[in-house]
Structure 1
Amino acid sequence: MTCAGPTEGVPHDRRAGTLSAWGAFVGGDDEAAGAVVPRHILSSWRRCRDVYDLDPLRPLVPAVGPPCSPRHRGLYAHLGGITSAVVRAVGGCIATVSDGHGRVIAVWTDARLRRNADTSSLDPQFCWSEDAAGTNGTGMALLRRGVVAVRGPEHWRAEMHDWNCVGAALTDPVLGEPVASISISSRCEETVATVARRLDDELAEPRRHLARQAARDAASMGRACAREQLRGLGAVVGLDLGGGIVAGDIGPRRRPGAGTEPDPTLRAIARTGLAEVATNPEWRTTFAPGPPLAHADELFEMRLVEGPDGPAGWLLVETDHPGEPSAAGRPANRSERVAAEGDRYVLLLDPHEIRFAEAQGHSVWLVTDRGRLRAMIRGIDNMERRLAEHGFVRVHRSFLVNPDRVQRIDQKGNGVITLSTDQARPEDIPVSRRSTHAVRQLLGL
């Protein structure tokens, strides 16, 4: 953020002392800085000089980084509202929202500083992480995972010495990693000090947003586990994105507190998976987690589960067949549509159009958005295999249901329930007693 003119509201002696210490430190003299520079700033300077090898006189250049996670788009929008409100209320400042890597997503300022904002390195192509931009509010907030102020010559880069900045970072409660930050920059130190006192309060609601998102993701994993359990093919475990167990078959496989402190094996495979699905959303793998999570010879297939906010977690399903991740990641070649016959015609149905399927002998009747049709596939077991990957569950020996289409649950007494996909009239789709618990969990009851 290049701007001419002295920093306002900074005691001259302190600023001069810091600037002198910075110059000496850049030249290799650490002793002078130790007496006048805060410890966390000095530690950052050492990283900039000795680890990152950053030239403090070189202007910031665009940096290529990973794309912003779609999972946090709602959070970024919320932070944008906060920063724009701060600019209106405080004035005389430039405000940015950055992702967890320090890359700028958006910038706000008032009319007086519009030119400074337009000529600064605040476009989305620029990154303000500490290793890219040196000591600054955004980078240090992400590193220290809190609120950090950087004043005038405390910045590593010389072109920032006329600015005071305060950064505040938010951490994903599941992954334990920073996901976003707000930075407020001003020539006036008093402005930054005022903003710093209110930022922690301003971020209370975004933190609650992240907590609610984690709860929604855990509920999504509970429903995904319930669907698999209804198929009865083996043990099922639901992990959050960080590898913590949040749902499924717990018993001896789940150690106490595993949902908040992932087993190292699961944490490692979950981190590997996140890197893989960034380029291949269909990625999956098979591995043996071993004791105490499973018996030594048990294999589990792991795949990503999508929730309402994007990736929600990992589903582990016991399997007898080792698989190659690359092969499992390839999309199926065959059509996903389901053929059904009407009067002198055949319809090709998308699975989401099917509300439920009912067996009558070897025939399977589909209740769909286009009416009641007989499937070309014969046998409810064959239809179950065909629709399982689309979330359909076997709730009764004669019925498959699309849980996303269930609109009504009727209590019949003695724990018996029936389902309906039509709000206007009860369809009384039976649920077997052995499936009732899993169905209730799947539907969030």
Structure 2
Amino acid sequence: MTEEQRRVMAAWERFVSGEDAVDGVRAGILLSWYRCRDVHQVDPLQAPAPAPAAEAGTEHSVAQDMLFARLGGEAGASWSALHPALVSVTDGAGRILASWGPHHDETVLDPGFSWSEACSGTNGMGTALERPGLASVQGAEHWCRDFHQWNCAAIAIRDPVSHAPVAALDVARRGDELPGYATEWLLRTAAAFESELSDQAVRNGRRLADAFSEAESGVTGALLAMDVAGKLVAVNETATALFGVVCSNPAVDPNARVSPGIPHLAELVEKAVRRARKDSGWRGFANLYAPSGKEPFTVELRPVRISCDPVGVLVVATDSPAGEPLTRVESSRTRGYPPRIPAMRGTRIVLLAPHEIRYAEANSHAVWFVTDQGRLLAATRGIDNVERQLDSSTFLRVHRRYIVNVSRIKEVEPGFKGSLTLAMSCGEQEGIAVSRRYAARLKCVLGL
């Protein structure tokens, strides 16, 4: 055992015994350990990966099933070059779909066994599903002691619309280090599949834009076209006036789409998509509130499809809705524990309560939180990823570089041609520019 391996092992022993301040562990691994111990409460001495509970099933779309089949083909074809490593494919919930290699007694890599962090602690597959990029987990960095003899690397393949993981690829070896070409294969394969998914997302966006155009002439009230993640593809003038949302051109590219800022609408769209996957003729309706409104209004939810898969939903304000009544639901991305946002102070991890954050500012891929504790580097890279961590009912994107805590806004200064500048604290010379793309929604939220 090397000196570094002994240092990690000693840190693991202290952390599982209850200590928080441990040195010699990579930040991403330490964050995973926090999740395993304090959130998922995974026993570090448990037997290897359990089979998932019967009720823990994940719904897969037809498109996802096709993706899994192609991933399996790629992994199977590449295994001979990666031999003697084990190569595995999981779904977005961390369940093994297939694996190749010298299994020996590793029955936990058989199809159906769960390698999510919630089931199996820190490991390549589960940890890759929790964050963007390549996840490397070596030896005692695994949360469960029975995996300490393994070295693995994994990467998740993410949906370009929801950014949720839909699958993961993993390469693992017992005892020996992974060769460099294993991580190169993971990165190359994931990039190729995500590129294809991005192209399909653009085609889906065009289909939604076409459906919006077809419906617009027959709608007198608000009309919104939303993708499966609850982001805007197109809106009519009535919706802009009612909600303060702006979408000047159909947002065919998923990177150009924004959240509508309408409480609970994204959750209802997700629920509508799940219903539509099970029933090809499904429609529904629900009551919503505009950001500044006191009285609810009714919207009909009309799924839009390519072949048999829903690619989004038309949201139509109407007095005569048809279909199944939907109530407010929690988002499938909502976690069942008190929100804490991880940030870095040097090598230490600071767990911020949301109310401590005044705003987030992007500097290239790095994101900085301006907080009551000072300026801290977000543990998550990319402002789009940080935006997904923050509660949309409290935090609002106002610029491609800024996300603000609406409750912490102190002053709003009008500027040239309708521009706005925000001050987030009294007496400090900080000015946050609000881009025209987001100004209408901010005014609506603030009641201006």
Q: Is the shorter-chain TM-score for this pair beyond 0.5, marking a shared fold?
A: yes
Task: Tell whether 2:19 aligns with 1:25.
Answer: no
Q: Residue 181 of structure 2 is aligned with which of 188, 194, 204? A: 194
Q: In 1, are the aligned partners of 2:124 and 2:152 still within 8 Å (CA)?
A: yes
Do the aligned partners of residues 246 and 152 (structure 1) sit closer, same or farther apart at CA in structure 2, a change above 3 Å counting? same
Residue in 1 aligned with 2:434?
Answer: none
Q: Which amino acid aligns with 1:84?
A: G
Distance in 1 (CA, whole Å) between partners of 2:23 and 2:205 is 49
Task: Tell whether 2:150 aligns with 1:151.
Answer: no
5+ unaligned residues in a row in structure 1: which ranges?
1-10, 329-445
Distance in 1 (CA, whole Å) between partners of 2:300 and 2:20 is 54
Task: Tell whether 2:59 aligns with 1:62.
Answer: no
Q: In 2, are the aligned partners of 1:174 and 1:241 still within 8 Å (CA)?
A: yes
SS at match of 1:95: strand
Distance in 1 (CA, whole Å) between partners of 2:223 and 2:91 is 34
Q: Which amino acid aligns with 1:55?
A: D
SS at match of 1:195: helix
1:186 is displaced (CA, Å) by 1.0
Do the aligned partners of residues 233 and 198 (structure 1) sit closer, same or farther apart at CA in structure 2, a change above 3 Å counting? same
1:167 is displaced (CA, Å) by 1.0
Task: Tell whether 2:156 aligns with 1:172.
Answer: no
Distance in 1 (CA, whole Å) between partners of 2:325 and 2:208 is 24
Deviations 1:231-262 (A, max 9, x none): 56665432111222224635762414775111
Distance in 1 (CA, whole Å) between partners of 2:63 and 2:320 is 32
Q: In 2, are the aligned partners of 1:170 and 1:181 still within 8 Å (CA)?
A: yes
RMSD, aligned CA: 3.1
Residue in 2 aligned with 1:304?
Answer: 303
* 294-303 vs 152-161, which moves further: 294-303
Do the aligned partners of residues 313 and 295 (structure 1) sit closer, same or farther apart at CA in structure 2, a change above 3 Å counting? farther
Residue in 2 aligned with 1:52?
Answer: 40
Task: Tell whether 2:75 aligns with 1:83.
Answer: yes
Task: Tell whether 2:229 aligns with 1:242.
Answer: yes
Q: Which amino acid aligns with 2:33?
A: W
Q: Residue 121 of structure 1 is aligned with which of 108, 129, 140? A: 108
Residue in 2 aligned with 1:432?
Answer: none
Distance in 2 (CA, whole Å) between partners of 1:210 and 1:167 is 19
1:296 is displaced (CA, Å) by 7.5
Q: In 1, are the aligned partners of 2:94 and 2:168 still within 8 Å (CA)?
A: yes
Number of residue equivalences: 310
TM-score with structure 1 setting the length: 0.62
Do the aligned partners of residues 280 and 74 (structure 1) sit closer, same or farther apart at CA in structure 2, a change above 3 Å counting? closer
Do the aligned partners of residues 89 and 100 (structure 1) sit closer, same or farther apart at CA in structure 2, a change above 3 Å counting? same
Q: Residue 224 of structure 1 is aligned with which of 186, 211, 236? A: 211
Residue in 2 aligned with 1:264?
Answer: 261
Identity among equivalent positions (%) equals 30
* 267-276 vs 151-160, which moves further: 267-276
Question: Larger relative contact order (C-alpha < 8 A, sep ≥ 6)?
Answer: 1
Distance in 2 (CA, whole Å) between partners of 1:191 and 1:261 is 40
Task: Give the greater-gyration-radius structure (CA).
Answer: 1
Do the aligned partners of residues 271 and 192 (structure 1) sit closer, same or farther apart at CA in structure 2, a change above 3 Å counting? farther
Deviations 1:106-161 (A, max 9, x none): 2122xxx1434xx3312332111111110001111111121110001111112211
1:311 is displaced (CA, Å) by 1.5
Q: In 1, are the aligned partners of 2:277 and 2:310 still within 8 Å (CA)?
A: no
SS at match of 1:53: coil
1:304 is displaced (CA, Å) by 1.6
Residue in 2 aligned with 1:340?
Answer: none
